[in-house]
Amino acid sequence: MLSRAKTYTTSGCFALPSFVAVINEYDVVIVGAGPAGSACALALRHSGLRVALVDKAQFPRDKICGDAIPSPTLKHLARLDPGYATELSALLTSRRAPTTHSRLLAPNGEELRIAWHNPAFNIPRLHFDEALLTLVRRHTATDVLEDYALRSLQTDEHGVTLAPSDSTKPPLRAALVIGCDGANSIVARSLAPRASLDRAYHCAVVRAYYTGVTDAPEDTSDFYFLREYQAGYCWVFPVGGGVYNVGFGVLSEEVVARRLNLKHELSELLTTHPHLAPRFAEAKALTSITGFGLPLGGSTRPAHGPRIMLCGDAAGLIDPLQGHGIDKAVHSGILAATQAMACFQTQRFDAEYLANYARQIEQRIGQELAQRYRLMRFLAGKTWLVNMVVGAARWPWLRRRLLRAVG
């Protein structure tokens, strides 16, 4: 595709290094080419707008994740165009692990196996995000700029100037910026520069890949709820080819209060936990254990500002109960695209107009996440209750309710 960006030389209104002579101008710049950013670019395909999708990484790139793709992800893409879900599935067929079951292990060792009604699958994000970006390249006229790390952005009356970390690259100018740049979003920080991390709405998580795990069916994702930790769980998810994504997450409040080192905790669990240790006795780590943060949904983080919308993790849209966020990232990216088109139709980019987007997010995603946050807090530390729920789910009608609760 040919770039449709307008290029012009700098004038007095931009303070740029003297060797940077040009600015690329777009209608919309989407920062971050993860699920939120790629879905947003796909949803803008017929808009006629000049769109850039920028990412600091070169794709394919890894993203620390559990690699479980929640079933609503494909539904949102299919609503956009049924062909997208089909094409994405075709791109991923040989690499994904279709998961038909989950196994929940209660703190008392009791086990519950659940069959899912909706098709879901696990796949390393290395492949999933690359495939989504392939759809963007195939079906849209978006300028995809990889290796472009945003350092800062400045909003004025007429637009937003985006400055890259690498000062030899040209700055970008846009009428509207959509921040899809993840949990440590620079775009979100531009809206609330002094906001400190709210540990009540944040999870610390670690993950590594293993092979040689035993008693681990390739169609089953395992969740271990542990007596020793208030809110959080350990997971063992098959991701295809005999490889397992293994991780552990705990609410950041607890991590700080108990000074937990999660990398150490996970290693200990895999060698000493009565159910995990036998399964990992012969296992080989394929990667080191790495950590990342999860901004949980249900908080009052802003989702918009003048000429700016935030999507996915940048808006803190992760399910507090399960830690899933890919489906919400895709959904919010699509909602932002709809709002972006309305902005250009009306030529309104002010915060008051963009509050429509924040309301959509609240109604369609935020309210549900807030409910799930309350449920997560209610269950936190109540080992007996988790044991009881897993035990009681032997009865079909309770199992149906549990299935609805965990999604």
Whole-number Å distance between alpha carbons of 132 and 339: 21
Closer Cβ to ligand FAD, 25 or 55, answer by number: 55
CB of 311 to ligand FAD, least distance (A): 6
Instruction: Yes or no: say if 146 and 298 are a contact pair by the CB < 8 Å rule.
Output: no
Interface map 13-32 toward ligand FAD (x if CB under 6 A): ------------------xx
Whichever of 53 and 175 has its CB closer to ligand FAD, that residue is 53
Q: What is the DSSP string of 359-399?
A: HHHIIIIIHHHHHHHHHHHHHTT-HHHHHHHHHHTTSHHHH
3-state secondary structure of 373: helix
**By CB under 6 A, how many residues form the interface with ligand FAD?**
38
Q: Exposure of 173 by Cβ count < 10 A (0-12 exposed, 13-18 middle, 19+ buried)?
A: buried
Counts of helices then strands in the chain (DSSP H, E): 13, 18
| Residue 222 DSSP one-character state | E
- What is the CA 3 to chain-centroid distance, rounded? 28
Q: What's the min distance (Å) between Cβ of 302 and ligand FAD?
A: 15
Q: Please, are residues 38 and 53 in contact by the beta-carbon 8 Å criterion?
A: yes
Question: Residue 265 interacts with ligand FAD (CB under 6 A)?
Answer: no
Minimum distance between the CB of residue 328 and ligand FAD, rounded to whole angstroms? 7
Q: Which of 76, 96, 207, 372 binds ligand FAD (CB under 6 A)?
A: 207
Binds ligand FAD (CB under 6 A): choice among 68, 77, 135, 178: 68
Q: Give the whole-angstrom CA distance, residue 339 versus residue 158.
A: 18
Instruction: Give the list of residues 6+ apart from residue 343 with CB closer than 8 angstroms, or none.
Output: 175, 176, 349, 353, 354
Q: Is 163 in the site for ligand FAD (CB under 6 A)?
A: no
The only residue of 67, 143, 222, 254 in contact with ligand FAD, by rule CB under 6 A: 67
Q: How far is the CB of 391 from ligand FAD (least distance, A)?
A: 26
Q: Which is nearer to ligand FAD, 110 or 198 (CB)?
A: 198
Does 179 bind ligand FAD (CB under 6 A)? Our answer is no
Contact footprint for ligand FAD (CB under 6 A): 31-37, 54-57, 63-68, 70, 149-150, 180-182, 186, 205, 207, 247, 292, 294, 312-314, 318, 323-326, 329
